[in-house]
Amino acid sequence: MRKSQLYSIAFGFSILVLLSFSLLLFNSLNSYSEYSALVEHTQVVMNNLQKIHSQVVDAETGQRGFLLTRDSSFLRPLLIARLEVPVTLDSLKQLTIENANENEQIDTLKAVIWEKFQIMEQTLNISPFISAQSLNKRLEEGRVRMDDFRSVINSIMKSEQDLLKERAIKKLKFERITPNYFKVIISITAIVSFVTFVLLMQELKQRNTAQTLLETRFHALNRSNAELQQITHVTSHDLQEPLRKIGIFSDALIVKFKNQVPHEVLAILKRINTNAFRVRELVADLSAFTSLSTPDGKIESVNLSDIIVKIQTALSSKINSLNAVIEASPIPTVMGYPHQLEMLFTELVSNGLKFSKPDVSPRILISSSSVMGKENDLLNPLRQYLMVLVADNGIGFEEEYSNRIFILFQKLHSHEDIYEGKGLGLSLCQRIMANHEGFITATGESGVGATFRLYFPL
Amino acid sequence: MQENRTILIAEDDSDDRLLLETAFKETGLDIELVFANNGVELLKVLTAKGQEHYPRMILLDLNMPKKDGREALKELKQHPLLKKIPVIIFTTTKNEAEIARCYELGANTYVVKPDSYSELLKVVNQLKNYWFETASVALK
C-alpha cells in the first residue's frame, strides 16, 4: 500500500516537472519567433530609411549636376524621389506606429525632406534668373537642410540599430535556450520511461513468483482436498462397518445369553455396546462435517421460513414433549444450499431445545433484519448482510466461551446425562455459514439464554 | 413333492453371514440358508440347478466384489424364470437415490442392515413371515 502511494507520488511529480518544462519550452519558442519577427521588422525599417537616404542624396546630386550642365536628365532622380519618398515615408510611419518616439522623428524627417524638396525646386525654378552669388547662397541653404536631413535620418537609424542589437541578443538567447528545454524534456521522459519499465518488470517478476507460489499451493490444496475426501469416504464406509458389527455382536451376546452370564459380564457388554454406538455416531458426524468442505449440489434461492416450518414438523415430538414454543417471523429468501441450510437451522433449534432449563418451557425466537457489514468486525464493512437471529431462553453460557463453542467437539456442558450431544453441531453451523460466505456469532448469558446471529451476504 | 425351504443369501461379509445364520436359527431350524460370496456365485448357484430347486427368496447385499448386487439384481429380474423369486436388498446404504434405483431394477423390498441384534431379529422374523411364508408362495 505504501509502495503504491510512493509510486503515485513519484509519477505525479514527474508529470508535473514534464509539464513545467513543456510550458517553458512553449514560452521560449514563442519568444524566439517573436524576436525573429521583430529583428526582421527592424531590418525592413532600416532598409526603408536607407532607400530614402539614397534617393534624397541622389536628388541633391542630380540637382547640382543640372545646375552645372543644364542637362535635364540630371533631374530624373529628383522626380523619382518626389514620387517615391512620400510612399516610403508613409510605410515607415505605419511600420513605426507602435514606437511613438520614432514615429515623431519620422514626422520630423518628413518635414525636413519636404522643406528640402521645396528649396531644391525653388532653386531650380529661379536659377536661370539669379546671380551666381544668390545661387550659392540658396545652395548653401540647401546644404544646411541636407545636414538637418542627415542628422534626423541618422538619429532614426541609430535608434533602429540599437533596437536591432537588443532584439538580436534576445533572439539569440531564446535560440540557445530552446534546445536545452528540449533536451531536459527528452531526458526526463527517458528517465521516467526507464524507471517505469524497471518497476513494471520488477512488479511482473514478483507477480509471476506469487502466481507460481499460488499455483503450487493450489495444487497442494487440491491434493489435500482429494485426500480429505478419501478420508471422508473411509470414515463414512469402512470405519462405520466394523463399529456397527462390534455393536451388533455385543448386542447379540446380551440378547442371547442374558440369562446365562453373570450381571457383571452383561454390564461390561452393555458398556462395549454403548461405546461402539457413540463412536459410530461420532464418525458419522465427523464424516458429515468433512463432507461439508466440498459443497455438493447447486446454490439456489432458499425460503428460510419454509425450512423452519419443515424443521418444526420434524422435531414436533420433541417440541411437544418439552412444551416448547418456536416463534418465527417471516424471513426473506437467501441464496444457498437447501440441504445445508436445513441442517443449520435443525442444529440451532435442536440446540435451543437441548440446552433448555429443566423447569422452564423452551422458547425459541427467530427473526431477521438487514444490516451493514460495519456492525461486526468479522464482516466486510462495505457489504450488506441479512442477519437471522436465533435466541433461546435456555441455560446459556458464559460470555468468555462465545468463540470456544464453535470449536470441533468442544463441549461447555459436561453433564452428559442431562445434555446429550457430541459437541459438533455448532462447528457444523460455522462450516455451513462459511460455505455461504457468511458468519455466525454467539452471545450468551449463563442462566438467561443464548443468541445466535447468522450473517448472509446480500 | 417336498417343500423347498431355501433362502439364497448373497453376502461377502462373513460377520453378516454369521449374524444372519444366528438370527435365522432363532426363528426355527426349518430354513436352509445357502450363501454366495458375490453376484457371480449367486447366478452360478441359481443356474446350476433346475427350477424345482430355486430358493423361496434371495437376500442380496449391494456392495460385493466381482459382480455387485445391482448388476445381479438386474440380471435376475431380466431372466424369464428367475425373475419370479422375491429379491430382498439387504445392505448398509441408506441413500435414497440408491433405494429408488433398486426398486426401479425390480427389487421386491429394501432392508437396511439393523444396528442392533434385537432389530435384526425383528427383520429376520418379518422376512420369514411375510416374504418366505406368504409372498413367495403366492408368487408361484
Considering the entire predicted model, what is its pTM?
0.54
Q: How far apart are CA A18 and CA A9, in angstroms?
A: 14
Closest residue of B to A248, CA-based?
B116
Residue A415 has pLDDT above 50, yes or no: no
Cell numbers given for B61: 447385499
Alpha carbon A80 to its chain's center: 76
The answer to whether residue A414 scores a pLDDT higher than 70 is no
pLDDT higher than threshold 50 for residue A62: yes
| Interface contact B19-A254, CB threshold 8 A | no
Phi, psi dihedrals of residue A296, rounded to the nearest 5°: -100, 165
Q: Which of B16, B22, B116 sits opposite A247 (nearest CB)?
A: B116
Q: Is the pLDDT of residue B106 over 50?
A: yes
Decide: helix, strand or coil at residue A453.
strand
CA–CA min distance A241, chain B (Å): 8
Residue A144 to residue A69: CA distance in whole angstroms: 23
Taking the CA of residue B35 and the nearest CA in chain A, the distance in Å comes to 19
Record: contact B116-A248, CB cut-off 8 A: yes
Q: How far is CA A276 from CA A114, A250, A280, B99, B115, in A?
A: 138, 9, 6, 27, 11
Q: In the predicted model, is pLDDT for residue A30 greater than 90?
A: yes
In whole angstroms, what is the distance from residue A63 CA to residue A72 CA? 9
**Residues 6 or more apart whose Cβ sits within 8 Å of residue A86:** none
CB B38 within 8 Å of CB B66:
yes
Q: Give the distance between the most distant pair of CA atoms in chain B.
A: 42
Mind listing the pLDDT tens digit for each residue in A255-293?
888 889 898 999 998 899 888 888 888 887 777 777 777
What whole-number distance in Å separates Cα of residue A257 and Cα of residue A22?
105
> Is the Cβ pair B15, A249 closer than 8 Å?
yes
Q: What is the DSSP string of A303-336?
A: EHHHHHHHHHHHTHHHHHHHT-EEEE----EEEE
Give CA–CA dist A290/A114, Å, rounded: 118
Q: Which amino acid is at B69?
A: G
Express each pLDDT in B24-53 by its tens digit. 988 887 888 899 988 888 888 888 877 778
- ipTM exceeding the 0.90 mark: no
The answer to whether the Cβ–Cβ distance between B121 and A247 falls below 8 Å is no
| Beta strands at A325-328 and B87-91: parallel, antiparallel or unpaired | unpaired
pLDDT digits (tens, 9 = 90+) for A39-53: 999 999 999 999 999
- What would the grid cell of residue B70 be? 445391482
Please compute the mean of the pLDDT values over residues A150-157 and round it to a whole number.
92
pLDDT of A73 above 80: yes
Least confident of A74-88, A93-107, A124-138, A393-407: A393-407
Residue in chain A closest to B19 (alpha carbons) equals A249
Strand stretches in chain B, DSSP E: 6-10, 32-36, 57-60, 87-91, 109-112
- Give mean pLDDT, residues B117-128: 90
- A&B contacts, CB < 8 Å: 36
Residue-level pLDDT at A150: 92
Averaged pLDDT, A326-348: 88
Which one, of A235, A217, A221, lies nearest residue A290 by Cα?
A235
Is residue A364 within 8 Å of residue A347, measured between CB atoms? Answer: no
- The answer to whether the Cβ–Cβ distance between B121 and A249 falls below 8 Å is no
Lowest mean pLDDT segment, chosen from A89-98, B54-63, B129-138: B129-138
Question: Per-residue DSSP letters for A214-240?
Answer: HHHHHHHHHHHHHHHHHHHHIIIIIIH
Rg value, chain A, Cα:
55
Percent of chain A with pLDDT over 90: 31
- Among A9-13, A182-186, A414-418, the range scoring the smallest mean pLDDT is A414-418
Would you place residue A408 in the very low, low, confident or very high pLDDT band (cuts 50, 70, 90)?
low
Contact yes or no for A91/A135 (Cβ under 8 A) = no
Which pLDDT band holds residue A418 (cuts at 50, 70, 90)? very low
Judge whether residue A295 has pLDDT over 80: no
For the CA atoms of A135, A140, A143, A147, what is the dihedral angle to 10 degrees? -160
What's the pLDDT score for residue A44? 92
Tell whether A252 lies on the interface with B, counting CB pairs under 8 A: yes
In angstroms, the CA A417 to CA B117 distance is: 25
Cβ neighbours of residue A5 closer than 8 Å, sequence gap 6 or more: none
pLDDT band at A35 (very low <50, low <70, confident <90, very high): very high
Mean pLDDT of A329-358: 88
Asked whether the predicted pLDDT for residue A420 surpasses 80, the reply is: no
Verify whether the Cβ–Cβ distance B92 to A244 is below 8 Å: yes
Cα–chain-centroid distance for residue A113? 75
The strands making up B109-112's β-sheet, listed across from edge to edge, are B32-36, B6-10, B57-60, B87-91, B109-112
What Cα–Cα distance (Å) separates residue A58 from each residue in A54, A85, A92, A226, B38?
Answer: 6, 12, 20, 114, 140
Asked if the Cβ–Cβ distance from A252 to B22 is below 8 Å, we say yes
B6-10/B32-36 β-pairing:
parallel
pLDDT at A206: 93
- What is the Cβ-side half-sphere exposure of residue A196, based on CA atoms within 13 angstroms? 12
Q: B91: nearest CA in chain A?
A: A241
Contact state of B117 with A245 under an 8 Å Cβ cutoff: no
Categorize the per-residue pLDDT at A58 as very low, low, confident or very high, splitting at 50, 70 and 90. Answer: very high
Q: Testing the interface with B: which of A245, A248, A291 to mutate, by most B Cβ within 10 A? A: A248
Maximum distance among all Cα pairs of chain A, rounded to whole angstroms: 185
CA distance B85 to A188: 94
